[in-house]
């Protein structure tokens, strides 16, 4: 774990290195993914089956390519009541939050008499990637599928890796609850390629969303343009801004909540109290000793964890904006003030009783968020990722006479006489 202080002479350079550390795919990953995608495009199902045997250690022809809807329904019915209720609560809150994001169509006539507007429509089909390797996440399925359904997507396709052919019943239960149309027993870059290009078995989709490992993220990056994507997701991140009025073990638990995802995840604490920073560091060690995911979490904390001592929380917004973290917790007396000064963050969690983990499951906002400083220019998954806007224009003779001459002048200036002529012939010129 790296310990920094804004009081130290070398802080600026050390902090720049933290900000610049991408912790993401190397060149060889990009090359491998390009080869995989080329194989899927050329050989379709045969390539998908070959890569599944190689990476997930099972034969799709034997274990089955597609998981039946009845299996998903049975998995949901078999859940313990408290777990079923938890999934239903999460689904209801996610649905309600995303329903409020739906955009409105526009249709109006401006002062020149020109009718203008836009119509929002959902894409026809969406592919949802649900991780299933290091851990299986039914919450990710809900976070991807429900906004798509709210947006009006007609065909929802889930791909999820099943190592050894084994499926996670919680993922199947979530697929049933979200009314997913298709669940395919494939994962990795080859699954993303199948969704984008289509195969004999798997029809192509228009948008691919959902988190995955470095190979999945790289596949989405390379396929952008063939399909739409939500974002290129990297390792998980959490930035906690906390004062000494917090219990150290709570902040330690928050830091480890992201560290346990992957050894490349990053957890950062900013505090104005050096003694509190020491207490949190000790609490992290205590929490790790009792954590079932300690091996992963410790690797993440040791390699990527950072504690930053500041002289005042007035310094925190600039640091947070430079980091542009996926998750930002603000556990201070006046979290609202700091939040308003932080321009770049995937999602913000306000107050001492708002752990990031509640946002991963039941709060309502999406937990698919920009990582790797991409919160500077992108947002978390929303219904808009599954929709597109079509503008429309209508003019009558009077409206064309009002604005047409300006268009003719611009077309002439750009050296495009046919553009100008298409307007002039309607103006009687």
Q: What is the pLDDT of residues 376-422, one digit of tens each?
A: 999 999 999 999 999 999 999 999 999 999 999 999 999 999 999 99
Annotated binding-site residue? 429 = no
The single residue of 218, 326, 329, 356 carrying the catalytic annotation is: 326
Annotated binding-site residue? 25 = no
pLDDT in tens, the chain (429 residues): 999 999 999 999 999 999 998 776 566 899 999 999 999 999 999 999 999 999 999 999 999 999 999 999 999 999 999 999 999 999 999 999 999 999 999 999 999 999 999 999 999 999 999 987 556 789 999 999 999 999 999 999 999 999 998 888 999 999 999 999 999 999 999 999 999 999 999 999 999 999 888 899 999 999 999 999 999 888 899 999 999 999 999 999 999 999 999 899 999 999 999 999 999 999 999 999 999 999 999 999 999 999 999 999 999 999 999 999 999 999 999 999 999 999 999 999 999 999 999 999 999 999 999 999 999 999 999 999 999 999 999 999 999 999 999 999 999 999 999 999 999 999 998
Annotated binding-site residue? 414 = yes
Annotated binding-site residue? 267 = no
Do 27-103+123-229 and 2-24+234-363 have the same topology in CATH?
yes
CA dihedral 197, 203, 206, 207 (to 10 degrees): -90
Annotated binding-site residue? 98 = no
Q: Please tell me the total number of residues recorded for the chain in this structure.
A: 429
pTM above 0.85? yes
Instruction: Give 23-30 contacts, CB < 8 A, sequence gap 24+.
Output: 23/234, 23/235, 23/264, 23/266, 23/304, 23/372, 24/214, 24/217, 24/234, 24/235, 24/264, 24/372, 25/214, 25/215, 25/217, 25/218, 29/214, 29/215, 29/218, 30/218, 30/222
**62 is an active site residue:** no
Q: Which tens digit of pLDDT belongs to each residue from 105-130? A: 999 999 999 999 999 999 999 999 99
- CATH code linked to domain 27-103+123-229: 3.40.50.1980
Domain 2-24+234-363 fold is Rossmann fold (3.40.50)
The single residue of 98, 327, 344, 367 carrying the catalytic annotation is: 327
Q: Distance (Å, rounded) from C-alpha 333 to C-alpha 208?
A: 40
Sorted by where each begins, the domain ranges of the chain are 2-24+234-363, 27-103+123-229, 395-424
**326 is an active site residue:** yes
Q: Which tens digit of pLDDT belongs to each residue from 185-210? A: 999 999 999 999 999 999 999 999 99
């Amino acid at each position: 774990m790296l310990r920094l202080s804004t009081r130290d002479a070398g802080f600026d350079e050390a902090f720049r290195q933290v900000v610049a550390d991408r912790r993401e795919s190397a060149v060889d990953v990009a090359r491998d993914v390009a080869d995989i995608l080329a194989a899927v495009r050329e050989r379709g199902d045969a390539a998908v089956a070959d890569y599944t045997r190689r990476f997930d250690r099972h034969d799709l022809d034997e274990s089955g390519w597609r998981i039946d809807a009845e299996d998903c329904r049975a998995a949901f019915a078999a859940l313990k009541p408290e777990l079923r209720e938890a999934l239903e609560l999460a689904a209801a809150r996610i649905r309600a939050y995303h329903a409020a994001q739906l955009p409105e169509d526009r249709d109006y006539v401006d002062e020149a008499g020109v009718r203008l507007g836009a119509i929002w429509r959902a894409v026809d089909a969406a592919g949802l990637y649900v991780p299933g390797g290091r851990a299986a996440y039914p919450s990710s399925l809900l976070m991807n599928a429900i906004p798509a359904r709210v947006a009006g997507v007609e065909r929802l396709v889930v791909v999820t890796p099943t190592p050894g052919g084994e499926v996670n019943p919680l993922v199947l239960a979530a697929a049933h609850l979200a009314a997913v149309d298709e669940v395919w027993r494939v994962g990795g870059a080859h699954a993303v390629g199948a969704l984008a290009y289509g195969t004999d078995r798997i029809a192509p989709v228009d948008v691919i969303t959902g988190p995955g490992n470095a190979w999945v993220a790289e596949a989405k990056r390379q396929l952008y343009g063939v399909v739409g994507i939500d974002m290129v997701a990297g390792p998980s991140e959490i930035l906690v801004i906390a004062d000494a009025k917090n219990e150290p073990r709570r902040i330690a638990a928050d830091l480890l909540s992201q560290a346990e995802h992957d050894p490349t995840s990053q957890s950062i604490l900013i505090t104005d109290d050096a003694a509190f920073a020491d207490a949190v560091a000790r609490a992290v060690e205590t929490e790790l000793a009792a954590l079932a995911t300690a091996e992963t979490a410790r690797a993440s904390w040791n390699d990527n964890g950072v504690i930053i001592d500041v002289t005042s929380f007035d310094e925190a917004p600039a640091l947070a904006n430079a980091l542009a973290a996926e998750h930002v917790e603000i556990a201070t007396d006046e979290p609202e003030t700091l939040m308003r000064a932080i321009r770049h963050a995937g999602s913000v969690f306000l107050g001492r009783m708002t752990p990031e983990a509640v946002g991963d499951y039941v709060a309502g906002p999406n937990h698919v968020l920009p990582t790797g400083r991409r919160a500077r220019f992108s947002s978390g998954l929303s219904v808009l990722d599954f929709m597109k806007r079509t503008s429309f224009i209508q003019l009558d003779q009077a409206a064309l006479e009002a604005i047409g001459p300006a268009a003719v002048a611009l077309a002439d200036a750009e050296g495009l006489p046919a553009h100008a002529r298409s307007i002039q012939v309607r103006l009687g010129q």
